[in-house]
Amino acid sequence: MKPDALPRDKEKQLELYSISEAEFKVAPAELKPYNPGVKINRDNFINFLILSFAISMGQPKVQILFMKWLKLKFSFDYEVVLDNLKKAGGFKGLSVNEKRHLKISLIE
């Protein structure tokens, strides 16, 4: 990784963002694509999750490393997001469309 790949401004790293429990309780109207660098929100969350699974290829350490990189590079507080997802019902709380999309993506 290039030395400039992570922000040098430590203050910026403290300005974390997440997806709230309330946001998880509302199904996205449309599933949107996710690419690293794009702000993760309710509409692209499932595609973000699918990408993280693809990157880790079933290796939890790689998944954790990817999440930590997102936190450092893009200020995404994955720990809070996963807690909020759990409070909102976990995977049972995802919309039918999200579950279908996740299932198809994991099979391919």
Q: Closest Cα to residue 106, out of 59, 51, 35?
A: 51
pLDDT digits (tens, 9 = 90+) for 52-100: 988 998 899 999 999 999 899 999 999 999 999 999 999 888 999 999 9
pLDDT tier, 4 (very low <50, low <70, confident <90, very high otherwise) = low
Long-range pairs for 36-42: beta carbons < 8 A, 24 or more residues apart = 36/70, 36/73, 36/74, 37/74, 39/74, 40/70, 40/76, 40/81
Domain ranges for the chain? 39-108
Bridge partners of 17? 76
